[in-house]
Structure 1
Amino acid sequence: MPLPSRPRLAALLAAITVGVAGTTAWAYGHVTGRQADGPEAFVTPSVTQGSALQVVAHPDDDLFFMNPDLSRSISTGIKVTTVYLTSGESDGRNEAHSPHLQDAAGPADRAAYAEARQNGIRAAYAEMATGERTSAWRRRSIPTAGGGSAEVDVLVARPEVNLVWMQLREARSISGDNPDSLRGLWDGKVPALGAQLTSGTPVKPWFSYTKDQAVAAIADVFARYEPTTIRTQDPTPGRTAAGTFLDHQDHVYGARFVQAAAERYAKSADRPHFSLQNYVSYPNSSLPPTLDPQAAEEKLGYLKTYAWMDHQDWCGSPAGCGDRKTATRPTGAGWSQTIRYSRGDGTSWLTEGPTGRLWAFAVLDGRMAYWSRTGAQAPWQGPRFLPGTGPGTVVDAGAKAVRLPDGRIAVFATRTTLGTTPQDYGRDVVYAVQAAAGGTFGPWRSLGTPDTADISGTSAIGGPAVAVDPAGRMTVYVRDSARTLRARTQEAAGGSFGAWEELGGAGLQGDPVTATDGSGRRHVYAATTGSVLAWVRPAAGDPGDPVEGPFATGLPQTTGVLTASPEGAGVRLFFRRPGTGNIGTSLAGPGEPAPEFSPVAEEGGLGGYGAVGVAGHLLVGRADSGTAGAAVTDGPRSWQQSQMLYTGAPAAVAEASGTTVAAVLGLDAELHLVSEPPPAEQHGGRTSSPWHRAVPPRPQAQDGSADRTVAGGPPLR
């Protein structure tokens, strides 16, 4: 008998407004607040659109490390596809890893165990999509551009849900140096990696891929499904002190193959724009939980379905109906309580230039894209693209934008160099600056990396935080692979940067954040697994002096993602509370040598996870349903949910006019906005817009190509 269906997220996603203390003034339909396209304008509220494609190394990596993003995407009804690079055949025994159970489990049968894992995955996806694990699938074989074949499974009741099985051999070891693996193929230790076909697959001829063929095969899947959001694992999680990867080698090298395939796919002439989001895998074991109890329980329920917990023969497959290895611990190593992004958690990618011009930056197609609006009543334009960062390179998810004293904008990011040999692979910090205020951006420049040894293996630098002094000198703060804080400072405004400085700290998580308070004192903060560390530079000091620290803050444990915002003579920190996702905040006020922190206040909210954007009176972040939520901070803590899922982190900016604008990148690779007018308006009270696309869609063409884009260029208009 099928398991009882769990409550679906559809009802939660359909909810428009959820108030913690009353309701907000945001309204859907006619907007009475000032909008980019004029007052009294009508905008269409944003909903989740586009298509999401996950690529993981093994069956269950998606359930452990990408949920609840995955289940929530399915609940919206958009096209959702998951690609499994290996068959996950392990030792071929569908039982726990235990010597005394091996004889009882019978002889090893890798093809059958891989098939059992497929059965479990199909059951979990069927349950996420329909509520019934027994919902039928249609299985077929398709040729790939790499010269092999892949199995494609289509959920009959929800044909927009697809599974693609590449069926390559797994490493069969977390960190062992096995040449017959994705790692061996990437590093050139084997000329080709062979398939491990499952016992029930419609793919019949055995095949193998060279490195280039494997990249081509994955890129071909992208071309078939045309995703607007690609999700994959972390290609650079770092190493332990003993030199082993902090993650499973298949996760690491599978993600590198995805990077290479996305770079190849981005060269296609006819495709939609896409973003790429990386997820933390095994390192979640040592980090605080991020999900609220309800989200964690739902995630665990799908894992239990995959794990075939009841051991009943409901699927009729001789291989078994799920993964009994997972049944011994369906929570993983605490993974059922957590989801984390390893890139793109920064909230400082939206900024205001001179004359009220706004700039928003995000990485699309492996390049830095931007949208801009010349004035309060002007329409948004974009996406447009900065020049590429060089052949064989991709810009990682996330951007940091700062305004220089002369009005020019500088944008920072990290870049991955794929290279032509395994030794070429690495990551560095890059930046580009406008030639003049409001003008074009100059070429990308590299600041290198603070990691100087084993670059292809470590390269686990975080995203940059950037501070600008009154003279226009920029300082870049980065978490290095040793999880300490490093910095580089310009020797003069517009000039070269000095060497990387060591600023200390230990066990840093997430990206550092920085802000300057009203007295001119610079603050830098970084989370650890247990608290938050602070570095400060006194306002009376020389602008070229480094920050001092680290100082203990006494703040409680956070989920690792921080946001800093100036507030009077201090800087206010915002963070998520572990296990609930609620937002906490504390004001860092005057103190010597370290700031003094106010007691933590709760901002309430809707649970959720990931970064929080804040500016003016507006607070934005991911609600417990996964949708974009917003609240005003100078009144009762009332939160409004949209009907839109997004990727990465939100950003917000308080315009000189008094209006606050917040932005997210939707799963459709489009910029979406919400605005909160100043408190006093002609009719009294406050009105705000719903979330809406910055650039409205073109009218629908007969061929359905309204939002078709050309690779590397702006939307066709």
Structure 2
Amino acid sequence: MPVSRRRFLLAAVLPMLTVGATGVLAVASGQQTSAEATQTQNTNPADALPVSTTAGSVVQIVAHPDDDLFFMNPDLSRSLVAGSPVTTVYLTSGEADGRNEAHGAAAEDPAQPADRAHYAEARQNGIRSAYAQMATGDRTSVWKRTVLPTAGGGQAELDVLIAKPQVNLVWLQLREARNPSGDNPDSLRGLWDGRIPALGPQLTTGTPVRQPFTYTKDQVIQAVAGLLGKYRPTTIRIQDPAPGRYADTGKYTDHQDHMYGARFAQAATVRYAAQVPAGERPRFTVQNYLGYHNGTLPHALDPQTAEAKIGYLKTYAWDDRENYCGSPSGCGDRKVAGSPTGRNWAQSLRYARGDNASWLVTGAPGNLYAFSALDGRMAVWHRGPGTRATWTGPALLPGTGIDPGAATARFPDGRVAVLATRTVLGERPQDYRREIVYAVQSAPGGPFGPWQSLGTPETADADGTSAVSTPSAAVTPDGRLAVYVRDAHRTLRIREQRPGGGWGNDWGRLGGEDLQGDPVTATDAAGRRHVYVTTTKSVLAWISADPAGALQGPFPTGLPATTVPLTAAAEGAGVRLYFRRPDSGVVRTVLVTAGPASAATGKPAVSSVTEAGGRAGYGAVGVAGRLLSGRADSGTVSTTGLGGPPAWTESRMLFAGAPAGVQEAGGETTTAVLGLDAELHVVTALSRPARTVWHRAVPDSS
């Protein structure tokens, strides 16, 4: 790795963090965070609680060697630097055409010898080198390769990094589809769809696995579920099981192995949660990652973070051709050497689900609720009135299949609704689908009722691959719920309650095109409902003319391109939007109003763009009054005051999803995140805090 990249990574993380003997982050000797330096300025009883640090363990499940490097980094490298136990499971060998050459004449020459076993081995060598570099700084750090029997009845290769034995790689070595979208029954897709009874392996030349095997669909699911039982993750990272199709060609927007591999992983998490009771394993959360579609969107990472990520990809690609590994197969994947950024993938990281900031909400009378999917169920944390009240939870609502990402809405009487999507696996392949569901409190401050299904605007998975967004919701003045979803055709859909409480028969169409990510909603001081959705080039708006009126739009906002995730918060007569600048990650904000002047033109009034300043980052931004929270370029959750000093106060904690915040009575704010340990962490502070110290909402009683 070039010295400049090493220095960047160390400068971004290590001056603030070191890895303790327990594998979690600790303050470097002689160092103080800005939060701790001002600890005496606040007498909040929560100050006596342990400061939140990175904890938990991570399992990643990907289809091919390099999917983790392209689509899960820098989350991956941050976890490795933090000392977290990390295991990556590769479902296929990624043997492709068996030619280990950079794309070009040599790779396309029919005379070029093809050897899939050797090429798959070269990809393994490259992955081991990249992980060794990320974890130790030395790409030649030694691995121990052994055979691991699987719960599916076959054998996998297990690689353990000797210098950091908490870093494991597991290779199932199944045959890949060998084409991003072509119809090849001998593949994960064919196995999932029942077109073949079993799928065989593509063993690498150097693997210790010598026994041939095949897996049925159920055996693949059981094999992965067994690995989850072995490694007991608190965070599971998988690819996107429902990426959608291109409107013009009908082809998948992602590699078929990515999509169907993610479905196998999805089914395995369900199997694991059902087979191992929660008391015998830690609770877990799931994070989905966007794949090929990143290439069509603005860059989400700042240049320094992207450079470090590309450096690891160059190691994987065996960019220097030095035979440091001593393998006759080669030390990496030369196909990537011709373009280590992929097809515009390396400069971004995006979550396919769970990247919104609306999962924390205040109910009546002053109760606070936080929601997240744990173990495939919706978890609820509750805190009574007042910021000094005690948090309880998580309580899990009945019903499984809940996907990452939750949204909330509050009714006029103070009752709270939680919304999500639910995946239905079904007995048959064609039964796979996503549907929008919601649950409502029976009374203000009371228990939540059962999940109710609103169906889906996608009537058949074969048409849209269930590619609907996380829903967003608003409540009309007369107490009716309106739910908004981006559909697989990238338009906005609505389903609204009738005055009597029932629902319309179908999802209405609100239009728009090229919509990305999740819609966000807010209601301004005049009671007008606002809905905003990102496109690849700007942001579109839908606004009701009055509190009782229907949404009008889509209106162009004229805003510049964003990195996709939006956050909306009511502010006076308008709604303030928060988003990140492409190729930077700096947080930007505008105020959108719908006054008489805009009504004449049919276009909302949009203020000039201002920036919060400070260090870059990626992902959605949480908003609590004037306090902003988000992922810093180091990957930790950080906070800053809007309009205050530009510096972000960084924590010592990596987390999943997005932060969320609320401003409470008296001007105090509460911000929450879900740590990699699948625990809720919170910080309560004044709107312009002197410090922000994170702690577990529900202290560990052990």
TM interval, short-chain normalised: over 0.9
Q: Does 1:381 align with 2:385?
A: no
Match of 1:171 among 171, 174, 177: 177
Q: Distance in 2 between matches of 1:15 and 1:599?
A: 36
Q: Which residue of structure 1 aligns with residue 162 of structure 2?
A: 156
TM-fit CA distance, 1:520 = 1.5
Alignment of 1:596-675 (within 5 A): 596-675=605-684
Q: Does 1:559 align with 2:568?
A: no
- With 308-317 and 249-258 compared, the bigger mean Cα shift is at 308-317
Distance change >3 Å, CA 378–CA 100, structure 1 → 2: closer
Match of 1:463 among 470, 480, 485: 470
Q: Does 1:272 align with 2:282?
A: yes
Q: Tell me the number of residue pairs that the alignment of Structure 1 and Structure 2 aligns.
A: 677
Q: Does structure 2 conserve the Cα–Cα contact (< 8 Å) formed by 1:141 and 1:152?
A: yes
Q: Which residue of structure 2 aligns with residue 450 of structure 1?
A: 457
Encode CA deviations 1:230-258: one digit per residue, 9 max, x unaligned.
00110101012332211100000000000
Match of 2:604 among 592, 595, 606: 595
Match of 1:436 among 443, 448, 455: 443
Q: Does structure 2 conserve the Cα–Cα contact (< 8 Å) formed by 1:530 and 1:557?
A: yes
TM-fit CA distance, 1:406 = 1.2
TM-fit CA distance, 1:430 = 0.2
Q: Distance in 2 between matches of 1:561 and 1:493?
A: 35
Partner AA of 1:473 in structure 2: R
Q: Distance in 1 between matches of 2:425 and 2:87?
A: 25
Encode CA deviations 1:129-179: one digit per residue, 9 max, x unaligned.
111110000010010011000111000111111101010000011111111
Partner AA of 1:224 in structure 2: K
Query: Aligned with 2:667: secondary structure?
Result: coil
Match of 1:508 among 511, 515, 525: 515
Q: Distance in 2 between matches of 1:80 and 1:105?
A: 41
Q: Distance in 2 between matches of 1:678 and 1:571?
A: 18
Q: Does structure 2 conserve the Cα–Cα contact (< 8 Å) formed by 1:175 and 1:249?
A: yes
Please, which runs of 5 or more residues in structure 1 have no aligned partner?
18-22, 680-685, 700-717
Q: Does 1:570 align with 2:574?
A: yes
Q: Which residue of structure 1 aligns with residue 145 of structure 2?
A: 139
Q: Does structure 2 conserve the Cα–Cα contact (< 8 Å) formed by 1:31 and 1:688?
A: no
Q: Distance in 1 between matches of 2:50 and 2:38?
A: 7
Partner AA of 1:386 in structure 2: L
Q: Which residue of structure 1 aligns with residue 693 of structure 2?
A: 690
Q: Does structure 1 conserve the Cα–Cα contact (< 8 Å) formed by 2:484 and 2:494?
A: yes
Query: Aligned with 2:448: secondary structure?
Result: coil
Query: Aligned with 2:160: secondary structure?
Result: strand
TM-score after normalising by structure 1: 0.91
Q: Which residue of structure 1 aligns with residue 553 of structure 2?
A: 549
Q: Does structure 2 conserve the Cα–Cα contact (< 8 Å) formed by 1:31 and 1:42?
A: no
Please, which runs of 5 or more residues in structure 2 have no aligned partner?
18-31
Distance change >3 Å, CA 26–CA 163, structure 1 → 2: same
Q: Distance in 2 between matches of 1:28 and 1:156?
A: 38
- With 508-517 and 348-357 compared, the bigger mean Cα shift is at 348-357
Q: Distance in 2 between matches of 1:68 and 1:265?
A: 27
Q: Does 1:226 align with 2:232?
A: yes
Q: Does 1:479 align with 2:486?
A: yes
Q: Which residue of structure 2 aligns with residue 251 of structure 1?
A: 258
Distance change >3 Å, CA 25–CA 88, structure 1 → 2: closer
Q: Does structure 1 conserve the Cα–Cα contact (< 8 Å) formed by 2:16 and 2:33?
A: no
Query: Aligned with 1:64: secondary structure?
Result: helix
Q: Which residue of structure 2 aligns with residue 682 of structure 1?
A: none
Query: Aligned with 2:77: secondary structure?
Result: helix
Q: Distance in 1 between matches of 2:365 and 2:33?
A: 30
Q: Which residue of structure 2 aligns with residue 710 of structure 1?
A: none
Q: Distance in 2 between matches of 1:127 and 1:95?
A: 23
Q: Does structure 2 conserve the Cα–Cα contact (< 8 Å) formed by 1:573 and 1:588?
A: yes
Match of 2:97 among 91, 101, 120: 91
Query: Aligned with 2:617: secondary structure?
Result: coil
Q: Does 1:584 align with 2:627?
A: no
Q: Does 1:208 align with 2:214?
A: yes
Encode CA deviations 1:490-542: one digit per residue, 9 max, x unaligned.
11264434531111100001111111111112211111000011111012x6x
Partner AA of 1:206 in structure 2: P
Encode CA deviations 1:673-711: one digit per residue, 9 max, x unaligned.
1122256xxxxxx54440111111124xxxxxxxxxxxx
Question: Going by fraction, where is helix more abundant, 1 or 2?
Answer: 2
Match of 1:356 among 354, 360, 366: 366
TM-fit CA distance, 1:204 = 0.7
Query: Aligned with 1:209: secondary structure?
Result: coil
Partner AA of 2:640 in structure 1: A
Q: Distance in 2 between matches of 1:28 and 1:414?
A: 43
Q: Which residue of structure 2 aligns with residue 706 of structure 1?
A: none
Q: Does structure 1 conserve the Cα–Cα contact (< 8 Å) formed by 2:495 and 2:503?
A: no
Query: Aligned with 1:665: secondary structure?
Result: strand
Q: Does 1:281 align with 2:270?
A: no
TM-fit CA distance, 1:33 = 3.5
TM-fit CA distance, 1:378 = 2.3
Distance change >3 Å, CA 16–CA 373, structure 1 → 2: farther
Match of 1:533 among 540, 545, 557: 540
Q: Distance in 1 between matches of 2:575 and 2:232?
A: 43
Q: Which residue of structure 1 aligns with residue 187 of structure 2?
A: 181
Distance change >3 Å, CA 96–CA 106, structure 1 → 2: same
TM-fit CA distance, 1:8 = 6.6
Q: Which has the higher contact order (CA 8 A, sep 6+)?
A: 1
Q: Does 1:317 align with 2:327?
A: yes
Match of 1:523 among 522, 525, 530: 530
Q: Does structure 2 conserve the Cα–Cα contact (< 8 Å) formed by 1:120 and 1:305?
A: yes
Q: Does structure 1 conserve the Cα–Cα contact (< 8 Å) formed by 2:378 and 2:397?
A: yes
Match of 1:296 among 291, 306, 316: 306
TM-fit CA distance, 1:440 = 1.2
Q: Does structure 2 conserve the Cα–Cα contact (< 8 Å) formed by 1:181 and 1:193?
A: yes
Q: Distance in 1 between matches of 2:603 and 2:525?
A: 16
Q: Does structure 1 conserve the Cα–Cα contact (< 8 Å) formed by 2:9 and 2:308?
A: no
Distance change >3 Å, CA 697–CA 551, structure 1 → 2: same
Encode CA deviations 1:533-553: one digit per residue, 9 max, x unaligned.
1111012x6x2x421111111
Q: Does structure 1 conserve the Cα–Cα contact (< 8 Å) formed by 2:365 and 2:445?
A: no
Distance change >3 Å, CA 34–CA 662, structure 1 → 2: farther
Q: Does 1:111 align with 2:117?
A: yes
Q: Does structure 2 conserve the Cα–Cα contact (< 8 Å) formed by 1:150 and 1:167?
A: yes
Q: Does structure 1 conserve the Cα–Cα contact (< 8 Å) formed by 2:100 and 2:107?
A: no
TM-fit CA distance, 1:581 = 0.3
Partner AA of 2:694 in structure 1: W
Q: Which residue of structure 1 aligns with residue 24 of structure 2?
A: none
Encode CA deviations 1:37-89: one digit per residue, 9 max, x unaligned.
x37x4122111100111111000000000000000000000101111000000
Q: Does structure 2 conserve the Cα–Cα contact (< 8 Å) formed by 1:96 and 1:328?
A: yes
Q: Does structure 1 conserve the Cα–Cα contact (< 8 Å) formed by 2:39 and 2:691?
A: no
Q: Distance in 1 between matches of 2:353 and 2:244?
A: 14
Q: Does structure 2 conserve the Cα–Cα contact (< 8 Å) formed by 1:491 and 1:498?
A: no
Q: Which residue of structure 1 aligns with residue 85 of structure 2?
A: 79
TM-fit CA distance, 1:401 = 1.5
- With 512-521 and 446-455 compared, the bigger mean Cα shift is at 446-455
Q: Which residue of structure 1 aligns with residue 133 of structure 2?
A: 127
Distance change >3 Å, CA 99–CA 143, structure 1 → 2: same
Partner AA of 2:383 in structure 1: R
The CA RMSD measured in Å over matched residues stands at: 1.9
Match of 2:338 among 328, 351, 357: 328
Q: Distance in 1 between matches of 2:316 and 2:500?
A: 57
Encode CA deviations 1:633-653: one digit per residue, 9 max, x unaligned.
242333101011111111001
Partner AA of 2:559 in structure 1: L
Q: Which residue of structure 2 aligns with residue 13 of structure 1?
A: 13
Query: Aligned with 1:336: secondary structure?
Result: coil
